[in-house]
Structure 1
Amino acid sequence: MAKILPFKAVRPTRDKVSLVAARSYQSYTIEQREARLRDNPFSFLHIVNPGYKYDKEISGKDRYDLVRNRYLEFKEDSIFVHDEKPSYYIYKIVNRDQQVFNGIVAAASAEDYENDIIKKHEDTIEYRERIFKDYLKTVGFNAEPVLLTYPDNQVISNIIKETQKERAEFEFTTTYRDTHYLWKLENPSIIASIQKEFEQMPTIYIADGHHRSASSYLLYKEEKEQNPNHTGLESYNKFMTFLIPESELCIHEFNRLVKDLNGLSKEEFLIQLDTIFRIENRGVMLYKPSKKHHFSMYLDGEFYSLYLRKTLYNFKTALEALDAQILYNTILQPILGIEDLRNDDRINYINGKKDVINVKSAIDSGDFAVGFGMVPVDITEIKQIANEGLKMPPKSTFIEPKLRSGVTIYEF
């Protein structure tokens, strides 16, 4: 029984939203960030990078305090307004490839996260959870929702379609050529209908945002333990999410790049691969795999197809059958000596939405020795792994949609 609740969002004014909305801080190059901070005083980047005002890099608790200050300044200057009624926020994105995503921005329950009603499929790093928890506690808000997905539901779909017949509260197109729409849904009877539909779902799944949800849960635990008058109704009991139906989730793979062959010559490396894979040299033509358990490899100016030998199709869990795990178990760890996929600086990742030419270029430049590609994971695999209580290797999925920060804000 999933508790998905309306909340009173803090939002930019209609005339400022296109200027405020920003991608995640890390997704910009240094030059892009500098240009936006210099030329756009309303960008949410000014809040998350408060040191720009003093031309200084600021970190830790000092940065968190300044983020809080910048946020309050945006509110004081009426760039942000606080909605008076709890609402659901119907959100639609049409991206540059004309893919359409429709969903609901709402508050999810930290208790549901604790009780595995909200299921996870990806490992998180403990110190990153703690850092973001401390950040949330100091700044007092969250501006980037966790992406959740739920089984397609006709009642919710009909409500979204009916709501979208009205004029959108927000409509703006980004320089990235994505168009965003937001409708505020505050009718109590319609809100009750949506809540009822989610309450009938035994589980929903995290698609993207495992660290954000884990940090919100840590904040909930800490605040609950420190509050002798805890009721369960406090704002820290919930965290902001964007929920979309499973059929609209877009999942890309991540390609792997490795800096060296772990002391092996090209020939020695290929011989070791031959015991596990059927190998075909595809030459200089760009090649991507098209089936599960088939991989592409780019090495020394040539593409190869790697077909896992069928005698090795003896998987006991959904995780063992995952291509990213197969690649780790058969090549990355035993042959190339990469133990820690998160922290080993010999491995890097390029999301599969980018063309395979990016893999080729990275290796031709000499920065990496070999690259591997695979087909994307599907939602069934994600759910099976989550249901078995297992966790995917890092960078197993690159999932869309990606929301902009600062369009809806949840205050603790």
Structure 2
Amino acid sequence: MEVSMAVIRPFECVRPAEKVADRVAALPYDVYDSKEARAEVEREPLSFLKIDRAETQFDESVDMYSEQVYKKAHDMLMEAIDDGTFITDKDKAYYVYELTMDGRTQTGIVACASIDDYLNNIIKKHENTRADKELDRINHVDTCSAQTGPIFLAYRANAVISAEVAKAKQEKPVYSFTAVDGIRHQVWKISSKESVETIENAFAGINQIYIADGHHRAASAVKVGLRRREANPGYTGNEEFNYFLSVLFPDEELMIMPYNRVVKDLNGLSEEEFMEKIKDKFTVSESSTQVAPSKKGEFGMYLGKKWYTLTAKEEILSSDPVDGLDVAVLQNNVLEPLLGIHDPKTDKRIDFVGGIRGLGELERRCDEDCVLAFSMYATSIGELFAVADAGLLMPPKSTWFEPKLRSGLFIHRF
């Protein structure tokens, strides 16, 4: 059987002029609700969010998913290209994108990935997408004829690619700025014919690439590509619509943060009854300080204004790639059997708190609208790869990636 290899292509990038890059670069469209998006665009009128979320240009009575909103996004993108806010590189290049947060750096390559690799599972997924969330981005990408938010991909580190990235970083960056949230962004361009070929060939030797974050963006980009193929029956496969904007990171540089849980009630149990039941499956010890778990199989629990360390007993651990995940151990042994939370995706009694918010946020939520919190040990990138390799899906809210890739720094037109 022939093993297919990844096609990761350089592209002609549309990107902000250097003097405005720091103002244009915006957090992904889906981290804001409509009210927050409006406030952000008001704070920074050049923010790419105004194009990513064009409903910010209309009053609140306008349906954010209406055709005129997507058309406005297209028109504003064209205006920004015409007025010099954005420049178009005339050569096919790769870009090195480095993000530094709290002194920790991760560096990826900005490129275009193939929709066929996505369809043939060379690009592996680990979560299902929702049609309603896809449709919004399908309309946005299709109307703009551009992908504006990169997909966050990961691969097993490769010495040849790492060497090219290190070489590029010796040059002067095309962008270097620290955003208002304190995260530093630096970008270098790789355009020498030799380096471009070396990187393209190195990726062609890799047959497994993983979506780390951005499943909905990826699914939407692929569906638009398939629409364009239908509209162009004579397509060759070489057209830009067959490729989607990505940033690819080596696994060793990525940090996944925990995704913690807060619960609204004890399902009719008293605190004492709940504590008794939990001791069947976990060793419980009270802690005088907040508990951030230090290893797999360990959980922090906050109940009745006290912190506890829970250690899973041997018999509830599993070597299965999904059932062995800490989020699954908690779900299968506490949330479902004791608290009656059968589907954490839809159950209104549970909420999820990204690790970036810290443990104080769990205490705050328990003071406000919850009674119980669990702090998690982060899922590892190796665990994510194992789930995707097995063709399985991660439980909901298993991974929180930080820092987030900015939108508007790199645009792929097709």
Q: Give the 3 Å change call, closer, same or farther, for CA 347–157 of structure 1 in structure 2.
A: same
Match of 1:72 in 2: 78
**Hey, what's the Cα distance between the residues in 1 that align with 2:33 and 2:136?**
23
- 1:79–1:175 CA distance, 2 compared to 1 (3 A): same
- Cα deviation, 1:201-242, whole Å, max 9, x if unaligned, reads 121111111111122222223332343212211222111111
Partner of residue 264, structure 2: 259
Q: Paired residue for 1:4? A: 8
C-alpha contact (below 8 Å) 2:124/2:208 kept by paired residues:
yes
**What is the Cα-based RMSD across aligned positions, in Å?**
1.9
Please say which of residues 356-365 and 300-309 is displaced more in the overlay: 300-309
Which residue matches 1:155? 160
Which 10-residue stretch deviates more, 160-169 or 269-278? 269-278
In structure 2, do the counterparts of structure 1 residues 109 and 342 end up closer, same or farther at CA, with 3 Å as the change threshold?
same
Note if contact 1:341-1:347 (Cα within 8 Å) is conserved in structure 2: yes
Question: Please, what TM-score do these two structures have when normalized by structure 2?
Answer: 0.93
Q: Return the letter of the residue paired with 1:130.
A: L
1:312/1:45 CA distance change after superposition, 3 Å: closer
2:337 is equivalent to residue 331 of structure 1:
no
Deviation at 1:344, TM superposition (A): 2.0
Aligned pair partner of 2:367 in 359, 364, 367: 364
Q: Name the aligned partner's letter for residue 52 of structure 2.
A: V
Counterpart of 1:50 (choices 50, 54, 65) is 54
Asked if 1:378 corresponds to 2:384, the answer is no
Q: Deviations over 1:73-119 (max 9, x none)?
A: 21222211221111101112222x11111121000011111111111
Moved more, 215-224 or 23-32: 23-32
Match of 2:411 in 1: 409
* Candidates 127, 132, 136, aligned match of 1:131: 136
CA, structure 1 residues 211+33, in 2 after alignment: closer, same or farther (shift >3 Å)? Answer: closer
Contact 2:115–2:225 at 8 Å: present in 1 too?
yes
Indicate if the aligned counterparts of 1:297 and 1:306 stay in contact, CA closer than 8 A: yes
Measured after TM superposition, the shift of residue 392 of structure 1 is 0.6
- 1:193 pairs with one of 194, 198, 221: 198
Q: TM-score, normalised by structure 1?
A: 0.93
Q: Which residue of 2 aligns with 1:309?
A: 313
In the alignment, structure 1 residue 183 sits paired with structure 2 residue 149: no
Indicate if the aligned counterparts of 1:163 and 1:183 stay in contact, CA closer than 8 A: yes
Aligned position for 1:290:
294
Distance 1:57 1:235 in 2: 36
**Letter of the aligned partner of 1:91 in structure 2?**
Y
Per-residue deviation at 1:130? 3.2
Letter in 2 for 1:339: H
Q: CA deviation at 1:193?
A: 0.6
Post-superposition Cα deviations, 1:332-358, rounded to whole Å, max 9, x if no partner, equal 122222222222222111112332111
CA–CA separation in structure 1 for the residues paired with 2:57 and 2:359: 40
Q: Are the aligned partners of 1:249 and 1:401 in contact in 2 as well (CA < 8 Å)? A: no
Kept in 2, the 8 Å contact 1:123–1:393? The answer is no
Mapped to 1, the partners of 2:88 and 2:143 lie a distance apart of 19
Count of paired positions: 408
Pairing of 1:146-295 with structure 2 (within 5 A): 146-282=151-287, 285-295=289-299
Alignment of 1:85-164 (within 5 A): 85-95=91-101, 97-164=102-169
Identity of aligned residues (%): 36
Determine the structure 2 residue equivalent to 1:63: 69
Deviations 1:118-142 (A, max 9, x none): 1122232233223322332122222
Q: Give distance in 2, aligned partners of 1:41 and 1:149.
A: 33
Question: Which residue of structure 2 lines up, in the alignment, with residue 320 of structure 1?
Answer: 323
Query: Tell me, what secondary structure is at the counterpart of 2:289?
Result: coil
Q: Gaps spanning 5+ residues in structure 2: where?
A: none
1:64 counterpart letter in structure 2: Y
